Structure 1
Amino acid sequence: MACACKNKRQTYEVVPNAGRANRPAFTSSSRGTAEAVADRYPTSIVRDKKTGDAVYHAWPKGAYEVVVGDRVVLPAHKVRNDADKGPLRAAADERAADGAVVRAVSSGAVVYPLMAALTASGATLTAEQAPTPA
Structure 2
Amino acid sequence: MKLHHVGVACADINEEIANIHRLHKVIDQTPVVFDEQQNAELVMLTLEDGTNIELISGKQVENLVKKRISYYHLCFEVDDINAEIERLTGEGAMLVSPPKPAILFNNREVAFLYLSYGLIELVSSH
TM-score (normalizing by structure 1): 0.26
Higher strand share: 2
| Structure number with larger C-alpha Rg | 1
Structure having greater relative contact order (Cα 8 Å, sep ≥ 6): 2
